[in-house]
Each structure stands twice: as C-alpha cells, then as structure tokens.
Amino acid sequence: MAEPGQGPIVAELGRPETPAETAARKAKNSREYRERKTVSNLVYALVACVAVVVVIVLAVPRSDEPMHPDVDVATIAEQAQAVSGEPLAVPVLPEGWSANAAELRRQSDGITAWYTGYLTPSGEFIGLYQGLDANATWSADLLARTLATGTVQVDGADWTIYDNRDSSDDVGNARYGLTTEAGSTVFVLAGTATDAEFATLAAAIADTVTAQQ
C-alpha cells in the first residue's frame, strides 16, 4: 500500500511513480497519440485524393478514336511562305489523313526547310520535308544516310526510293523514304507508312514539285 501523500503504486514498478516518471509517461502517451493521429490523417488524405481522381476520370468524356492534334497546315504555310518567299507544299489528302505538325525550320547548316507531319489511314506516319536551297547532305541526314534502292515516277516526278524496312540498323522514322529534286528545292518523304500511302502523298504535292522545276 502506498504511504499517505504518495501516488498509487504502479504494478510494473512495485512502488509509486516519481514526479519525473509521471511526466515521462504522460509525455510518451501524448507522443504516441499524436503519431497515431498523424497516420490516421495521412490515410484519410490518401483516400480523399483517390476519390477525387476517380471522380475526375469518370467525369472526363472519352472517345474510342485516338486523340491527335489536327494541325491547320494551310494557315501555317501561308504565314511561313511570307517569310520563305517560296511556294510551300500543302497537300490536299483524302479522308483518313491528318496533320500533327507544321513548321518552317531554320537549321544549323543554314538550310530553311518546311516540315509537315502526317498520320496515315493505316495508323502510320510520314514526314514531308521541303528543303529550300538544300543539298544532298541534308536529304541524306533525313534518311539516316541509307542507300537508294530504286526509283518510281509519281505524276510526272521521278522519286528515288529508300526502302529500309528489312534493315536491322536504327534508322529512326526513315523505314521508307522518297526524294526528288526540283530546281534548288529538295523534297523528302520519310516514315513508316505503306508504299501506297507514300504514293498518295507524293501525288498530292506534284503541283508544288512541278512549280519548283
């Protein structure tokens, strides 16, 4: 039994707590309580964040169609032509084609090039490059310095073929390419599309190619 004036006997100690022990015990209990509250608050916050994400995902409308930017090539070309002073290729393509890039590039080698990127009906890609006052080195770089494999005529223009589809080399997007020269302008088509899609794009810029000759 505790003596008069002393606190209750603590079983673990077999005697009453000293004031220092009482203060230490209360401090420990307070610390453990705060730690439990912190963990609980973190759990609640995580649950709330997950709930918000779920609501956003459910609220945003989705489509089964792939989302690609449809760039207005004609408008950008009109602005770029004011700078370049040269007719720029703006192909009119059948349904199923879409443009995802269009820009006038001033490159480190001093060559100005008009570039447009197209997504094809088969889900592949073709980049159209029109180099103004370009040279053979410029076009070779675009085609990963691969070798020509043939020629083809499309709407009166003779194109050189670069077919790298069976190559094990890293040729980037130049799995297949076509090039033609018209005056001081070099046209390069490079990408992953089918032969027929390359022919479609080449035919669509035939007027621009002819105008440069």
pLDDT tens digits, 127-148: 999 999 999 999 999 999 999 9
3-class secondary-structure state, position 37:
helix
Measured between alpha carbons, how far is 132 from 115 in angstroms, rounded to an integer?
11
Residue 173 near residue 125, CB atoms below 8 Å: yes
Homologous superfamily of domain range 73-212:
MucB/RseB, C-terminal domain (3.30.200.100)
Cα torsion 193, 194, 198, 201: sign: negative
- Read off the pLDDT of residues 151-203 as tens digits, 9 standing for 90 and up: 999 999 999 999 999 999 999 989 999 999 999 999 999 999 999 999 999 99
Angle formed at CA 96 by CA 91 and CA 98, multiple of 5 degrees: 55
Higher local confidence (pLDDT), 42 or 106:
106
A 10 A CB-CB count for 166 gives 7
Give the global pTM: 0.69
Q: What is the pLDDT of residue 15?
A: 63
Q: What is the pLDDT of residue 57?
A: 39
- Read off the pLDDT of residues 25-66 as tens digits, 9 standing for 90 and up: 776 776 776 767 665 666 666 655 554 443 343 344 433 334
Rounded mean pLDDT of the chain? 83
Please report which confidence band the pLDDT of residue 6 belongs to, taking 50, 70 and 90 as the band edges: low
> Tokens 């899609």 appear where?
197
